[in-house]
Amino acid sequence: MADLLVSGIIYGSIIALGAIGLTLISSILNFFNFAYGDLFTLGAFVTLLFLGLFGNSGTIAGLSFGWGLVLATLLSVVIMVVVVLLMDRLFFKPLRDIGVTPLFMSLASLGLAFILRAIINIFWGPEVRYYSPAIQISRRLPLGIRVKPDELFVVICALVLVALVYMFLKRTKMGKAMRAFSDNSVLAKASGVETNKVIMWTWVIAGALITVAGTLYGIQVQLRPIMGWHFLIPLFVAVIMGAVGSFWGAMIGGMVIGISEEMITGLIQNTFNSMQIEADMSVYKPAVAFVLVVAILLLKPHGIFGKREP
């Protein structure tokens, strides 16, 4: 049970990281970006590309990777930020300029998702890849909890990034402008907020977050070209569950999805195992996310952190 909770927190922290970026895009650019899952994959693979150039350079304090992966991730973030800014310039800005509806923006992003996935398949092929072939041994903690150093790293890294983004949004002038724009874009413009700057910063933050999320996910599992597409479901559910535009909603929504998926499928798996029924419940994880989002939409249509205007 405790093991499942820990797995859920690890998975949830990665979802939360991606969901914060997605909620910013959804509320500021006013569309659901279906290409975000494939940006997650691309970020992870670009990190792999740089890792191939530098090598892992040993390992850091019990982790399965070395400074090479850290450096590769930083460079990947830079490249991916450029990619998302170009993507906006070439695809989304022309659509915004002609005033297309959010539905068409979302459909355009779906097309972009297919393009990105095709690019990933062309460059890296369909086979699975790893950042490190090293096998880690879990450390035993009280209450029967077992954690690998990599898993601890993933959670700490995600939490640090969440805190940094929160500080940016809460304390800096541009962060406040982004929150204002997300709240009421017309009034933000009438307050002197420059739309182009807000959109640029939204892409920078979302691009950086999804790249790190993809890389952290890659540390945990093997890299597959389809992984981001599958990751998109929990991301969307986290954003909708937490209320579109809510920072803490995305964070908590991500955690709830991660923990629910791991615990519910894990508990059913354990039950089946004890009854000697052969089944792989891990493939049903997205079903948990769907059930949760339907329940939330029925019970609290504006999301957990959503408020109805009085």
Partner 1 sequence: MSLLTIKKITAGYGLQDVLFNVSMEVDHGEVVAIIGPNGAGKTTLLRAIVGMIRPKTGDITFKDHPIVGMEPEHVVRMGLGWVPQEENIFPSMTVAENLEMGAYLVEGDLKDRFAEVSAIFPALRERMRQPAGSLSGGQRQMLAVARGLMLRPDLLLLDEPTAGLAPNLVQIMLGRIKEVSDRLKRAVLLVTQTIDALKLCQRGYLLSAGEIKYSDSTENLLGNREVRDLYFGGSPPSS
Q: What minimum distance in Å lies between the beta carbon of 199 and partner 1?
A: 13
Would you tell me how many other CB atoms lie within 10 Å of the CB of residue 49?
A: 14
CB 232 within 8 A of CB 110: no
Task: State which of residues 53, 183, 271, 290 lies at the interface with partner 1 (CB under 8 A).
Answer: 183
Is residue 194 close enough to count as binding partner 1 by CB under 8 A? Answer: yes
> Total residues at the site for partner 1 (CB under 8 A)?
23
Nearest-angstrom CA–CA distance, 208 and 278: 41
- Position among 127, 133, 192, 274 found at the interface with partner 1 (CB under 8 A): 192
Question: In this chain, which of 173, 274, 276, 278 binds partner 1, going by CB under 8 A?
Answer: 173
Please list, in sequence order, all residues whose beta carbon lies within 8 angstroms of the beta carbon of residue 302, skipping any fewer than 6 positions away.
243, 308
Q: Which of 138, 191, 222, 282 binds partner 1 (CB under 8 A)?
A: 191
- What string marks each residue from 112 to 151 as x (binds partner 1 by CB under 8 A) or -? ----------------------------------------
245 contacts partner 1 (rule: CB under 8 A) = yes
Part of the chain binding partner 1 (CB under 8 A), chosen from 76-84, 109-117, 185-193, 286-294: 185-193
Residue 193 interacts with partner 1 (CB under 8 A)?
yes
Structure tokens at 209: 């977050």
Q: Does 200 bind partner 1 (CB under 8 A)?
A: no
- Give the nearest distance from C-beta 172 to partner 1 in angstroms: 12
Long-range contacts of 288-296 (CB under 8 A, 24+ apart): 288/257, 288/260, 288/261, 288/264, 289/233, 289/234, 289/237, 289/257, 289/260, 289/261, 290/233, 290/237, 292/237, 292/241, 292/256, 292/257, 292/260, 293/236, 293/237, 293/240, 293/241, 296/240, 296/241
Is residue 283 within the footprint of partner 1 (CB under 8 A)? Answer: no
d(CA 208, CA 47): 12
Which residues, 18 to 77, sit near partner 1 by CB under 8 A?
none
Cα separation, 233 vs 289, in Å, equals 7
For partner 1, the binding residues (CB under 8 A) are: 173, 176-177, 179-180, 182-184, 186-195, 245-246, 307, 309-310
